[in-house]
Amino acid sequence: MAKVKKAPRPKAQTPKGFRDYFGHEVRERTEMLSKIAGVYHRYGFEALESSAVETVEALGKFLPDVDRPNEGVFAWQDEDDTWMALRYDLTAPLARVYAEHRNDLPLPYRRFAMGPVWRNEKPGPGRYRQFYQCDADTVGAPSVAADAEICAMLADTLEEVGIPRGDYLIRVNNRKVLNGVLQAMGVTEEGQAANVLRTIDKFDKVGESGVRELLGKGRLDASGAYIDGVGLAPEQAEPVLAFLTSKGATNDETLANLRNAVGEAPVGAEGVDELAEIADLLAAQGYGPDRIVIDPSVVRGLGYYTGPVFEAELTFEILDEKGRKRQFGSVAGGGRYDDLVKRFTGQVVPATGVSIGVDRLLAALREKGRIVGSETGPVVVTVMDRDRMADYQAMVAELRQADIDPKDPSKGKIRAEVYLGNPKNFGNQLKYADKRNSPVAIIEGGDEKARGVVQIKDLILGAKIAENASLEEWKERPSQYEVARGDLVAKVREILEGQT
Amino acid sequence: MAKVKKAPRPKAQTPKGFRDYFGHEVRERTEMLSKIAGVYHRYGFEALESSAVETVEALGKFLPDVDRPNEGVFAWQDEDDTWMALRYDLTAPLARVYAEHRNDLPLPYRRFAMGPVWRNEKPGPGRYRQFYQCDADTVGAPSVAADAEICAMLADTLEEVGIPRGDYLIRVNNRKVLNGVLQAMGVTEEGQAANVLRTIDKFDKVGESGVRELLGKGRLDASGAYIDGVGLAPEQAEPVLAFLTSKGATNDETLANLRNAVGEAPVGAEGVDELAEIADLLAAQGYGPDRIVIDPSVVRGLGYYTGPVFEAELTFEILDEKGRKRQFGSVAGGGRYDDLVKRFTGQVVPATGVSIGVDRLLAALREKGRIVGSETGPVVVTVMDRDRMADYQAMVAELRQADIDPKDPSKGKIRAEVYLGNPKNFGNQLKYADKRNSPVAIIEGGDEKARGVVQIKDLILGAKIAENASLEEWKERPSQYEVARGDLVAKVREILEGQT
């Protein structure tokens, strides 16, 4: 063979904006998603795992703030010139799947989906181009009973993964109410409506008087710049201000305020009726406003939604980067969107659904101490005599076949491994056990073998003693035990039990 | 806004060679992978989920039969012109991850990975461009104890997912033995060696005499075409024939035959020693040749591997497409590869691992009746009075909060849903329940509501009766029960229990 010029070594790194997940990170997410899937399944939702790759044509241009079809996604051309792309969410693929398989799927079709999605965006700190989504949607159910069901399921889901009642609130609003408010204001022109919506979004920042100014002539902002107003007459602003301040002490009060805000607008009244129905359905199932509440301040990229919208907020406080207290905030949201399937079939198919922010919810569980963010490693059997590897392998086999707790097999079997690196330096073996966060190390040298015993080191206790104890205490509280070889499993069990 | 010309409707279909997975398909795979992860974890392996996207540079050109770097993969250019691609397996990413994070990872590093991989190949029947892999590898362990461990773990894994002992066999060979055979033959030239390997691969088809002819002058094949031979002298063929026929009744016999085949070649002797050590280590842990056996016929794309190679075969018989009996065949394989990390770091890092064919193993479990390939749906609460949706929602909430078996909460809670389609046509509701494979339907019309009762239909029994019973029997064996509303949960439990 001709000699090929040596290529330079490739760089060992992920592409920009991508990352790897190790050990407990994978396990914690898998366990959380498994609990969520359990709740969804109990509600009659079926799993769906659609292809990660879609045609650009099927994905469409539903990515927010993006106009060109393959902007914002990772796309390439197939050999037959078809443009393909990685999915950017789980909703666009659902629309494609439903349109493709609608004759075989039940109607309504309840499905959940969990998996990575990809966004071709500028990466930044904590901002990745591949991340997990976890969605549940009901396709083909026009009634708001479907929306109420999603909200109830979301509450059950949060409690199931470990967010206690009182630490979350699901807030529900309705896009139709806002449309009614616009009608009541006499705003019909699209551009003007968009300006009103943008102003509503600023309510949190500028308050009631600021919104009033911005809807009218305009306003001098904090930086001294003058912001042009929408140019409405003062009385036109009244419905939107009534809307923005409509949250009452009870759902009934809020609904009455909203009815007032939308006035005679039929779409607005319909929206309020729907919210009332959702509140009734949830009350019948025992979900009071301490868990799911009507709240007009929920906005959620309104362009996309056509009816009820909802958002799950975690209400417990955390410290932000600057040490200030703030609420943890949103971990899930969704709503009704009735036009996605229509792209494919020409027929309107009503749909409603929710998406959980997987990384956000995991972070919340870490905050609440529900997941510890680390994991105990395996028992490590060290190698004293390279020639007796078979003996050590027999030990780990014995440990792995033993229940951690013989009275409760559901706790699983003992996790164990033999040291497979170069055994020459024993210190390296203990360093390895330390790096693995191992609870116990087993030692059997030639002397032990001859006497039929093994040494068992309690590494957790050993570390504690090393950290806190005086030399005297150290000597008095041994963390290493010599037991008969036949008692290996029993002693390891005893130590593991003492550590938990 | 300017009126935009209406685009034609997009096609609702996956790109060629991609597919979706529905309901029980997702659940069965998830459950199988969860069991496998349990075994791997118990062996001290840690989960790793690497990025699905890698730089083409990092992936390299390790895809078999592919020379150009981005041939065989789905690749595209990032905005900074870096070529990126979807991973085509889980081994190339492991090498990148290990090289990138080697200072933080324990040495040896045992990891498992499960997830989709993508191949830019021509799709065909049953041949997809996205499929699951499930790998376990040990990086940085030079000793064959690591290979033996992988084989033992593979046996445990197969039993854990439901392949009983006796229905599988893990066969182990060693690339070094084959190198020894080539040395013993006096074959040193690369092209000639490759020709010999190709001939070995034909042993199953052409038998001993065929191999002899192909190694010599050549052979007339079944179609009448003359196949040129490798051109070796007759005595040169002896070692390879000794190798091909070396499988004995016991491991010891096989090892003795192999020693004979490799003669004086040092690399061959080393290979046989390693196989002997693997057999010893496995015997010490109780894995006899009924489960893991030395077998020189294992080849497995030898170019890639540098030491022991192994393959798990399922030995039970199935019927092929033409109704002929054949063994189920291979579901997993792997071996030692010592050069992958070197690409990045310049240093040789020994590694060994196994990859399970996820779809093959699922198919095997289906064959063995371990997974049924379908699933009982939820209890369906039908909607008789549209206005009483709250009543029906309360029923499903009650069912979902109830344990299937109060004496065994581990069985989970009752799966239930309310019908959310248009309730006007009651027949459609029962058709829906049928499509959902529901075990039970609940009916509460105005009359039942007034009398404080509900109707409960046993749909499984109903279907059985409809299929088999005469009209007389039909009348005598009702599959519908009227119970007090308060007894709803108890009666549903009773029916579900009777169905299992």
B101-131 tens-digit pLDDT: 999 999 999 999 999 999 998 888 878 999 9
Degrees (nearest 5) of the Cα angle A331, A336, A263?
A: 105
Q: Do B96 and A42 touch (CB under 8 A)?
A: no
Joined tokens for residue A458:
């309690």
Neighbours of A280 (CB within 10 A): 14
- Considering only the beta carbons, identify the residue of B20, B55, B107 that sits closest to A97: B20
Q: How far, in Å, CA of A58 to CA of A85, rounded?
A: 10
Asked if residues B127 and B19 have their Cβ atoms less than 8 Å apart, the reply is no
In this structure, what token pair is assigned to residue B108? 């040896």
Instruction: State which residue of chain A sits closest to B87, comparing Cα positions.
Output: A14
Q: What is the pLDDT of residue B413?
A: 94
CA dihedral defined by A132, A138, A140, A141, rounded to 10 degrees?
Answer: -150
Could you tell me the pLDDT band of residue B4, with boundaries at 50, 70 and 90?
Answer: low
**Cross-chain Cβ contact B54/A11 below 8 Å:** no
Determine contact: B285 vs chain A, CB below 8 A.
yes
Q: A124-156 b/e with 16+ CB inside 10 Å = b?
A: eeeebbbebbbbbbbbbbbbbbbbbbbbbbbbb
Return the DSSP state at B236.
G
Answer whether residue A341 shows pLDDT above 60: yes
CATH number of A379-499: 3.40.50.800
Are A183 and A189 a contacting pair, CB within 8 Å?
no
Portion 144-203 of A in contact with B at CB < 8 A: 145-146, 148-149, 152, 156, 190
| B173, β-bridge pairs | B309
Binary contact (A143, B46; C-beta < 8 A): no
| CA A336 – CA B376 distance, rounded (Å) | 29
Q: What token pair was written down for A472?
A: 């005297």
CA–CA gap between residue B57 and residue A249 (Å, rounded): 60
A48–B contact, CB cutoff 8 A: yes
Quick check: B68 pLDDT over 50? no
Q: How confident is the model at residue A477 (pLDDT cuts 50, 70, 90)?
A: low
pLDDT digits (tens, 9 = 90+) for A18-49: 999 999 999 999 999 999 999 999 999 999 99
* pLDDT of amino acid B78: 86
Q: Which A-chain residues 69-108 have CB contacts (< 8 A) with chain B?
A: 74-76, 78, 80, 82, 84, 86, 96-97, 99-101, 106-108
- DSSP letter at B15 equals P
Domain boundary assignment for chain A: 23-52+87-187+232-367, 379-499
Is B21 a known ligand-binding residue? no
Q: How far is CA A174 from the centre of its chain?
A: 24
- Asked if the Cβ–Cβ distance from A26 to B34 is below 8 Å, we say no
Shortest Cα distance, chain A CAs vs residue B386, angstroms: 10
Q: What is the DSSP string of B321-335?
A: TTS-EEEEEEEEEEE
Query: Shortest CB distance from B51 goes to which of A18, A78, A286?
Result: A18
Query: Which among B55, B110, B148 has CB closest to A15?
Result: B55
* Per-residue pLDDT band at B321 (split at 50, 70, 90): confident
Residues 6 or more apart from B405 whose CB is under 8 A from it?
B411, B493, B497
Q: Which residue of B has its CA nearest to A148?
A: B393
Subunit contact B10:A51, Cβ cutoff 8 A: no
Q: Which residue of A has its CA nearest to B80?
A: A16
pLDDT digits over B268-287, tens only? 999 999 999 999 999 999 99
In our burial notation (b when 16+ CB lie closer than 10 A, e otherwise), range B448-460 reads beeeebbbbbbbb
Alpha-carbon span A108 to A110, nearest angstrom? 6
Q: Whole-angstrom Cα distance, residue A28 to residue A34? A: 10
- By Cβ distance, the residue of B107, B377, B393 closest to A281 is B393
Bridging pattern class, strands A308-319 and B351-357: unpaired
Domain A23-52+87-187+232-367 indexed as CATH 3.40.50.620: no
What are the pLDDT digits (tens) for B287-320?
999 999 999 888 766 567 899 999 999 999 988 8
What is the C-alpha to C-alpha distance for residues A460 and A377, in angstroms, rounded to an integer? Answer: 11
B204 marked as binding residue: no
List, in order, residues 6 or more apart from A254 with CB less than 8 Å away: A246, A247, A248, A294, A295, A296
In the structure encoding, which two tokens stand for residue A144, read together? 């708001």
CB-closest option in A30, A76, A100 to B76: A76
Instruction: Return the percent helix, strand and coil in chain B, to nearest 5.
Output: 40, 20, 35
Q: What is the dihedral of CA B262, B265, B271, B275, to 10 degrees?
A: 40
Residues B267/B140, Cβ–Cβ less than 8 Å:
no
CATH of B24-175+267-367, one of 3.30.930.10, 3.20.20.220, 3.90.580.10, 3.90.100.10: 3.30.930.10
